[in-house]
Amino acid sequence: MSDQPLDGAVALVTGASSGIGAATARRLAREGAAVALVARRRDRLREVASGIAAAGGHAVAVEADITEPDRAEGAVQETLDRLGRLDILVNNAGIRLLSSALHTAVEEWDRMVALNVAALLHITHAAVPHLIYAASTSPRQTADVVNVGSAAARAARPSSSVYSLTKSGLSAFSESLRRELLGERVRVSVVEPGAVDTELVDHLNGTTRDAARRQLAGMEALRPEDVADAIGYIVTRERRVAVSQMLVRAGDQTW
């Protein structure tokens, strides 16, 4: 018998081409799960999958733009076709574009809503029936949805109004879904990272990017692996334990 708690389980991780998503995929693979890596950058997905394979794990690259409902459903179906089942969904894909309401372009708001909210809804809707089935047939007797939120859901700051809106909405959606799926033995959790050193900062415009980098320079930010550890902890609990929400801040973080 394997001593890996996720042996035989299948996880789907969105935004898995870099940062928190890639680190989470590697963590779940070490715990024994086969992992479907979902993102738009196929070359980066293949790099992550190759790294997991070199470490003795199993991962497949699933290229998809999950802001499109059909592509999100297709990503779930491809996971089932290639890996046979779905036990864990990690909704990590997201974007953080910071700017004031006066100076931002509405297209930036639309991009955040499309990826941070709509894409999460698309993939979750497609995955839930299969997670319910997995919970009823798995030796673990449970399945998991983990939504990666943000400390910005608790402390909205200037220039982050719509980003905070998307992450606050994620938390509310997660709590409602948690209650809906209680009887199905599908756990729903939210991990809210604080300041993390990822390439999300590179998506900001010049002035805001420089300000964000100065802010990070004044502290030791979280690493993607720190957030992956939190996710790994949540999904490896025994069925009787549900970690519904976890806030993970950098030790020096004041907000």
**DSSP 3-state assignment of 54?**
helix
Reply yes or no on whether 163 is catalytic: yes
- CA angle centred on 92, ends 88 and 93, rounded to 5°: 130
Helix 19-30 and helix 42-54, axial crossing angle in degrees, nearest 10: 30
Which residue in the list 83, 98, 143, 163 is annotated as catalytic?
A: 163
Q: 97 and 43 in contact (C-beta within 8 Å)?
A: no
Q: 61 and 35 in contact (C-beta within 8 Å)?
A: no
- Separation of alpha carbons 87 and 67, rounded Å: 22
Q: 62 and 78 in contact (C-beta within 8 Å)?
A: yes
Nearest alpha-carbon partner for 151 in 255, 14, 232: 255
Give me the active site residues, please.
163
